[in-house]
Amino acid sequence: MRPPENLSLFPESAGRLTGDTFFYEGLARRAGYHFIAGVDEAGRGPLAGPVVAGAVILPPNPELPGIRDSKMMTARARDEAFDVIRGKALATAVGVVSREYIDEFNILKASLEAMARAVKTLEPRPETLLVDGIYPVPLPITQKCLKKGDQISVSISAASVLAKVYRDRIMRSYHRMYPVYGFDKNKGYGTRQHLEALKRHGPCPIHRLTFKRVRQD
């Protein structure tokens, strides 16, 4: 089924001007939606490991001080926020898509599939979605795509923290299996140390073989 278009009730720029990170959630509530899920992913850029998506339904006007775009938070702050979000949210879910899926299709399709898996796991089921980026989740549900949504929507920020922390924990587990690549530090990103290890040892089973810097051409 073709996913729905972005919700027309949302003005394109107003939220950016107000600085209110609950602005889009407020608009959705005034439009009659009660269960509004923020959705974001982590792990599009790394050379190894899965892509992970988070989905979060927050109560009205949640108190989540310090929670913002996960990339702007320290690892310790994200870990602390992870437990706070899970404790205060009405629902949270994570979707994980493997390296094999990424290589078979592509990273964009894998990211959207991870988002879809997370959303489908939420209970209660969301009535509408706020999605980070420009591509809608391939599900028959109303949604709004927001560029830099993890910076302007608290629901998306919370989802980004959930996805990032969960993926980092996966990569630390993989480090114990493949320690030469330093996954505990680089989380699969193409750091100099990681690239040097790739040249020396070649790719391991979780490397994304279709990514240019992984291929041993």
In three state form, how does the secondary structure of 30-90 look? HCCCCCEEEEEEECCCCCECCEEEEEEECCCCCCCCCCCCHHHCCHHHHHHHHHHHHHHCC
pLDDT in tens, 188-211: 999 999 999 999 999 999 999 999
Could you please state the CATH topology (level 3) that the domain comprising 14-167 is classified under: Nucleotidyltransferase; domain 5 (3.30.420)
| Residue 102, both tokens | 């990424």
pLDDT in tens, 13-38: 444 545 678 899 999 999 999 999 99
pLDDT in tens, 139-191: 999 999 999 999 999 999 999 999 999 999 999 999 999 999 999 999 999 99
Q: Which pLDDT does position 3 carry in this prediction? A: 45
C-alpha radius of gyration, the chain, whole number: 18
Pick the more confident residue, 16 or 61: 61
pTM (2 d.p.): 0.90
Q: Which pLDDT does position 92 carry in this prediction? A: 98
